[in-house]
Structure 1
Amino acid sequence: MHILVVNDDGPPNERVSPYVRPLVDELQSAGHLISVAIPAASRSWIGKAHLIEAELTAHLVHPDSFRPDGSWDSTYKPDPTTEDGAAGPQSDWVVIQNGTPASCTQLGLHNLFTDLPPIDLVISGPNHGRNASTIYNLSSGTVGGALEAVFCGKRGIAISFGSKDPQTDSVIAAAARLAVKLVGHLWRNWDERVELYNINIPMREDVEGQPVLYTRTLPYYWSRGCLYAETDRRKEEARRVLNGATNGVNGVHKETNGVNGVNGVNGVNGVNGAHHGEPEAEAEAGTVSKQRHFKWSADLSDMKKRLQESEEGTDAHTVLNGSTSVTALRANFWHVPGLEGPIDLEL
């Protein structure tokens, strides 16, 4: 079948996106036609977002041209004698500057691969780490890419490889083989009540010999605000200059997860259309800043404790105990039954 692969971790990268190339290779080895559309930078925790103010640029990139840091050699030319007939545009991946998982799904389904047969299935992932529990699922760009497929009239499968720790090639290969086998099974036996599946695969050498279980999503709510920390903006500006955060890659301005814009969008008039003055300018004008600055600084210790204590049968308990979880989902926020009709405001 023709499968569109999207993700939220961006191009192949030893540190943040080590799993996408092995999965694509395994899907192709199984005989599937694979089209790939991925964001140019990590888009974790972005859900099913679209950046409506941003211009999206699609770069055709040969998969063998990626460097270990996720950048690519734009001058790379494949050797046609080693391509086994796959040389040409069909072998290129599409890397989308200012892309999100949802926009990659939209463009992949409707704009980018119109010369190929219709896409049958969208696979989003494999995520670098677990997506188990309501917080992760509703925040995850990986799940968001699969959700977008549903709203485009396609079946979606979100796949997460359940560890951010470095893994051996053999462990990654085992997870990829199991993922492809599981995708084939779900496709052949798709329950018509299901709109998307969320899969979590533990990273272990013997994963193919471990149980694969249907699960339910672990409910989780924040016990405290723990995603952001207040920062000293002057120190942050100095750090950015020191680290050379504004240097370009391949002639394209480097997206740095929120540096120089929002989620890698550069020059979109600040945040929510509001232009932000620099502290130095405020000082020269003799004004007192009324701004406070925060940055992503996730403290997930409470969440991790709750996941460790999760009940048997949940996605979190299953993957943390070495089995693969498969959660069948509907792509909606369903109403509470029984709350219907007029509301009497006098009561």
Structure 2
Amino acid sequence: MHILITNDDGPPSNQSSPYVHSLVSSLQSAGHKVSVVLPNTQRSWIGKAHLVGKSIKPTYFRPGPLKAEDGRLSNTGTISNRPLPGNSEDEEWVLVDSTPAGCVQIGLFHYFKARGPIDLVVSGPNYGRNTTAVFSLSSGTIGGAMEAAVCGVKAIALSYAFFDRNHDPEIIAGASAHSVKVIEYLYTNWGENVHLYSVNVPLVENVSERKTLYTEMLQNQWSGSCFQVIEVPEEEDQGPEEVEMAMRKAEERQGRKEQGQEGTGSGYDTPTGNGHIRYTHKHFKWAPRFKDVYQSVDEAPPGNDGWAVKEGYTSVTPLRANFMHTGGFEGELKI
């Protein structure tokens, strides 16, 4: 099978994208042809967006050996502004300064023609879970798979749900080996009305010996603003890598809780005597309350994606690449 890989975490990095090299190696070891187009930097929380009006410039990543060092996987490689010559047999991935959806478009239609048609797009593995509606609707990982689906190509969004960021390399290798089996099974047994699957694999020991379940997506929502009012803006905005690192620390704390291990701003608009509103000048910082998400999972009954991952099971959620209408409405509106 010819598989196109993309993600929303960027090229291999122990800090921000620690899993993609492992998955690619596992797919290759299983006999699959793997082509790779990744964003050249962190592009999480961007959904299925495209960077309209932007000229996209590729660079090229040449992965080094994947090996364990000091109890962690070592993701090594070099980046070049020019591709290898056509007669080279070395492995090379394409990096583009775009979104996961942009990577899919470029990978499907502008590269790899000599390697034959692409059978499947796998977006991921994401650094962290993509369960529940709140996470999924903003996920760049799922956005990449959605883009493939609206291009008529089968797609799987793959996420690794961690409970502790200090991963044993064997646990990551086990998750990748299990993911290959799940990918192969879904491709061979593709649902008739399914456009894409969202798969969440927990990073736990012997994950392949635990259950793999079809699930529904837990429908949850924010209970308040995802922004915090700040008095004075920071001199420099945090980059996406710093924001993602803070989020992963919070997810790690929640993961330990699940495994049995372990604010708001001021400034209100005020009415004037003539009924107009005078707006207080404010600055805002993105600070979502992930407690809402985890609480919704804790309170949900069995059968959904959040519950499955919390229990240490692999979650497989069949999806369609559309905003499905609600039934029961028809005819003219008499206004």
Q: TM-score range by the shorter chain?
A: 0.7 to 0.9
Unaligned runs of 5+ residues in structure 2 are: 67-72, 243-279
Corresponding residue of 1:150: 149
2: CA distance between counterparts of 1:77 and 1:35? 14
Pair 1:339-2:329 in alignment? yes
TM-score (norm 2): 0.80
1: CA distance between counterparts of 2:56 and 2:81? 22
1: CA distance between counterparts of 2:318 and 2:81? 43
Secondary structure of 2:334's counterpart equals coil
Equivalent positions of 1:102-113 (< 5 A) are 102-113=101-112
1: CA distance between counterparts of 2:78 and 2:283? 33
The alpha-carbon deviation at position 68 of structure 1 amounts to 7.0
User: Are the aligned partners of 1:124 and 1:158 in contact in 2 as well (CA < 8 Å)?
Assistant: yes
1: CA distance between counterparts of 2:102 and 2:64? 24
* CA distances 1:129-172 after superposition (whole Å, capped 9, x unpaired): 11111111111110100000011110000011011622110000
Equivalent positions of 1:284-299 (< 5 A) are 292-299=282-289
Change in 2 beyond 3 A, CA 1:153/1:75 = closer
Unaligned runs of 5+ residues in structure 1 are: 79-84, 246-255, 260-289
Corresponding residue of 1:315: 305
Corresponding residue of 1:284: none
CA RMSD of aligned residues (A): 2.9
- The residue type equivalent to 1:117 in the other structure is G
| Counterpart selection for 1:304 from 294, 307, 310 | 294
Secondary structure of 2:125's counterpart equals strand
Corresponding residue of 2:179: 179
The alpha-carbon deviation at position 11 of structure 1 amounts to 1.0
1: CA distance between counterparts of 2:49 and 2:205? 35
2: CA distance between counterparts of 1:51 and 1:200? 27
| Counterpart selection for 1:328 from 299, 309, 318 | 318
* CA distances 1:222-249 after superposition (whole Å, capped 9, x unpaired): 1111x22234556x22x57xxxx9xxxx
More displaced stretch, 208-217 vs 55-64: 55-64
Identity of matched residues, %: 42
Corresponding residue of 1:250: none
1: CA distance between counterparts of 2:309 and 2:77? 32
Corresponding residue of 2:37: 37
Change in 2 beyond 3 A, CA 1:70/1:131 = farther
Change in 2 beyond 3 A, CA 1:59/1:68 = farther
Change in 2 beyond 3 A, CA 1:41/1:73 = closer
2: CA distance between counterparts of 1:321 and 1:258? 29
Corresponding residue of 1:202: 202
Secondary structure of 1:193's counterpart equals coil
2: CA distance between counterparts of 1:16 and 1:60? 18
Corresponding residue of 2:254: none
Give the number of equivalent residue pairs. 291
The alpha-carbon deviation at position 296 of structure 1 amounts to 2.3
Corresponding residue of 1:95: 95
Secondary structure of 1:139's counterpart equals coil
* CA distances 1:287-318 after superposition (whole Å, capped 9, x unpaired): xxx86432322331121111122210001101
Corresponding residue of 2:80: 74
Secondary structure of 2:204's counterpart equals coil
* CA distances 1:268-298 after superposition (whole Å, capped 9, x unpaired): xxxxxxxxxxxxxxxxxxxxxx864323223
2: CA distance between counterparts of 1:209 and 1:69? 27
* CA distances 1:157-209 after superposition (whole Å, capped 9, x unpaired): 00110116221100000000000011001111111211101101111111010
Pair 1:160-2:159 in alignment? yes
- The residue type equivalent to 1:100 in the other structure is T
User: Are the aligned partners of 2:59 and 2:80 in contact in 1 as well (CA < 8 Å)?
Assistant: no
The alpha-carbon deviation at position 338 of structure 1 amounts to 2.2
2: CA distance between counterparts of 1:117 and 1:52? 29
Corresponding residue of 1:285: none
- The residue type equivalent to 2:332 in the other structure is P
